[in-house]
Structure 1
Amino acid sequence: MEMPKIIEGGKYSDERGSLLFNNDFNLSEIRRMYCIENADVDFVRGWTGHQIEQRWFSALQGSFTIKLIKIDNWENPSNNSEILDFELSSENLDVLHVPKGFVSAIQSKEKGARLLVMADYFLGEINDDFRFPIDYFENLK
């Protein structure tokens, strides 16, 4: 089973300014992308997941907390799964890879934060969008 992971980016600075880079991120699977900007820092966007699709996240502005849960039974997800926590910041060009089979909850840490989301299927190409109420997994730690 493939697990989510951070693909680390970097930053180079000199007298001309700064360059953010991620030389280890392979974009060959990306089919579409979009940005998320939450209404405020108290709002948590989730739980949304994909049984087939993968996602890649990168903070373009500000920072985000992204919580992930592996789902084994999409018709009746367990309430005793582990929550994985990730932090992304626009200070570097880190990319969080989320393999298929996970749901996510996304919270911006400051006003105006913007998250780039990349997916490996075109919009409408497959029907693979699962949504659960934000309190569905509240028993999890």
Structure 2
Amino acid sequence: MDLPQIIEGGRYSDERGNLFFNNNFDASVIRRIYIIENNDPDFVRGWTGHKIEQRWFSAINGSFVIKLIKPDDWENPSYNLEIMEFEIASDRLDILHMPQGFASAIQAKEKDSKLLVMVDHALGEVNDEHRFPADYFEKI
């Protein structure tokens, strides 16, 4: 089973400014991209899951906490699943890979944060969006 992981990026600075990079990320399977910008840092966007699609997340402004779970049943998942928590920030070009079969909950840590999301399927190519209430997996 593929597990979520951070693909580490970096930053180079000199008198000209900053260069943000991620030389370990293979973008060859990306079919579409979009940006998430929450209105309020207290708002949690989620849970949204994908059985088929993969996602890659990178903070392009500010920072985010992204929680991931692997549902044991997509129609009626358990409440007590392991929640994996990742933090990514725009000070490096780190990329969080969410393999297929996971659901995410996303929260900005500061106002004006922007999250780049990359997906391996075109819009409408598959019907693969599964939604759960924001507090669903944290009821224990």
**TM-score, length of structure 1 as denominator length:** 0.97
1:57 aligned to 2:71?
A: no
1:17 aligned to 2:35?
A: no
Q: Give the aligned partner of residue 79 of structure 2.
A: 79
Cα shift at 1:58:
0.1
Q: Give the aligned partner of residue 135 of structure 2.
A: 135
Q: Give the aligned partner of residue 124 of structure 1.
A: 124
Structure 1 segments, 4+ long, off by >6 Å, are: none
Segments of 5+ residues of structure 2 without an aligned counterpart are none
Cα shift at 1:100:
0.4
Q: Is the contact between residue 54 and residue 100 of structure 1 (CA under 8 Å) also seen in structure 2?
A: yes
Cα distance in structure 1, aligned partners of 2:121 and 2:99 = 13
Cα shift at 1:114:
0.2
Cα shift at 1:71:
1.4
Q: Give the aligned partner of residue 101 of structure 2.
A: 101
Cα distance in structure 1, aligned partners of 2:43 and 2:79 = 22
Code of the aligned partner of 1:121: H
Between the aligned residues of both structures, percent identity stands at 68
Cα distance in structure 1, aligned partners of 2:136 and 2:110 = 25
**TM-score, length of structure 2 as denominator length:** 0.98
Aligned length: 140
3-state SS of paired residue (2:39): coil
Q: Is the contact between residue 80 and residue 138 of structure 2 (CA under 8 Å) also seen in structure 1?
A: no
